[in-house]
Amino acid sequence: MDVKLVNPFIDAFTTVLPQMGFPTPQRTGMTVNNQNAVSQGVAVIVGFTKEIRGNVVYNMSEDTAKFIASTMMMGMPVENFDEMAQSAISEMSNMLTANAATNLTALGLEVDISTPSLTVGSDFQIKISNEQYLCVVMDVSGHQVEIDIAVQQ
């Protein structure tokens, strides 16, 4: 898969998060994987289609998800990863992917995105590609969010 397709997703992450009150995220890793991704606790899958088709997964620990939800809700404490916190993470994934879609349009690739599917659990596997996919790790205030991107070609 084409590495240049990953930039719109990283750019979306680094642009959108500061707008929600986070410090600018840093990219701390990027690998090409062909094994199934493993859930770190909370994983959101968003599909896209039109000129390119694929899936993106935002994969993080429950602690990180609670930290992000809390920051998004103006610092409101989040003790449990409850429905409200889940909605916040779904909404963030939706915003990130919609922003990535806009960035892709700038490359001449129009895409439509699906509603996010939020999954919670430990150590389950996530398969988004029969082939290789890209895995980018972003650091937000010491919290890691893994972004897995698979594009069908």
Partner 1 sequence: MEKVKVMVVDDSRISRMMVSSMLAKTNFEVCAMAENSAEAVALYAKTKPDVVTMDMNLPDADGIECTRRIHAIDPKAKIVMISAMKDAKLIMQGRMAGIGSFLQKPVSTNELIDTLMIMCNENVGAVAVYRESYVTTFAKVLQQSLMSLFGIQSEIEIAQNEDSVLKVDGVAAVIGIVGEPKGRVALYMDSDTMYNLSKAMLGMDPQDDLSADEAEAAIEEAGNIITGRAVSRVNDVFKDKEMRITPPGTVIGSDIILSNPELISFNVKAKTSYGDVHMNVGFARGV
- Return the SS3 of 58: strand
Least separation in angstroms between residue 48's CB and partner 1 is 6
Judged by beta carbon, residue 25 or residue 97, the one nearer partner 1 is 97
Residues 6+ apart with CB under 8 A from 135: 29, 30, 31, 32, 33, 37, 146, 147, 148, 149
Judged by beta carbon, residue 101 or residue 138, the one nearer partner 1 is 101
Judged by beta carbon, residue 18 or residue 51, the one nearer partner 1 is 51
Angle of the 7-19 helix axis to the 83-106 helix axis, nearest 10: 130
Residue 59 phi/psi, 5-degree rounding, is -120, 125
Least separation in angstroms between residue 63's CB and partner 1 is 17
Where on the chain is the footprint of partner 1 (CB under 8 A)?
Answer: 36, 39, 43, 45-50, 53-55, 57, 83, 86-87, 90-91, 112-128, 130, 150, 152
Token match 């989040």: residue?
Answer: 78
Least separation in angstroms between residue 33's CB and partner 1 is 14
Least separation in angstroms between residue 26's CB and partner 1 is 27
Least separation in angstroms between residue 5's CB and partner 1 is 14
Residues 6+ apart with CB under 8 A from 61: 40, 41, 42, 143, 144
Beta bridge partners of 45: 57, 117
Judged by beta carbon, residue 14 or residue 20, the one nearer partner 1 is 20
Judged by beta carbon, residue 44 or residue 140, the one nearer partner 1 is 44
